[in-house]
Homo-oligomer: A and B are copies of this chain.
Amino acid sequence: MTQKTGDRLTHFDASGQAAMVDVSAKPETARTATARARISMLPATLALIQSGEAKKGDVLGVARLAGIMAAKRTADLIPLCHPLPISAVAVIFDSDAASSAIEIIATVRTTGRTGVEMEALTAASVAALTIYDMCKAVDRGMVVDGLRVTEKSGGASGDYAAP
């Protein structure tokens, strides 16, 4: 259960085997992370989603819930991720008609011993996949790009903002 530093990966012990790294000596601190993703689609699909929100259905409402719920399942999905008592999750969408895409912004907060980057990434990606699922009958070619951590604060490794 030795934790590596420097240029070694932290999820392997001294003999190179996978392990959940020991965070028991770390203090519980407030931590926040934001992840983003962008799903591109046909202009007609974007129009359908936007009109749907108004009166025919709520693709983004379903995707938002899916992202929030997925954040709570992160430690079940990512093998070496620590279970964390999440204290807040928000998933926001920003439609961009010019590029015919929807930007997904997921923010997660906790008071814990490790960060919540994986929770934010999981929320953003599951929200994106839910949009795909709900629209795939009319647009199979949707693509998710730019799934990444954009901001992180709290914890020993310091704050981070993507360049």
Contact = CB atoms under 8 A, between A and B. Distances in A.
Contact of A83 (B12, B13, B85, B113): B85
A70 B62 CA distance: 15
A117 interface: yes
Interface in A1-24: 1, 4, 7-13, 16-24
A91 B18 CA distance: 8
Contacts of A160: 140
A135 B18 contact: no
A11 B57 contact: yes
B8 A133 contact: no
Contacts of A77: 66, 69-70, 73, 77, 126, 129
30 contacts: A1-B90, A1-B109, A4-B137, A7-B44, A8-B48, A9-B59, A10-B137, A11-B57, A12-B52, A16-B56, A18-B64, A20-B86, A21-B88, A22-B88, A24-B110, A61-B61, A65-B65, A65-B79, A69-B76, A69-B77, A69-B79, A70-B77, A72-B76, A78-B126, A83-B85, A85-B113, A117-B132, A118-B132, A122-B129, A144-B145
Interface of A: 1, 4, 7-13, 16-24, 30, 37, 44, 48, 52, 55-59, 61-62, 64-66, 68-73, 75-92, 107, 109-113, 117-118, 121-122, 125-126, 128-130, 132-138, 140-149, 152, 157, 160, 162-163
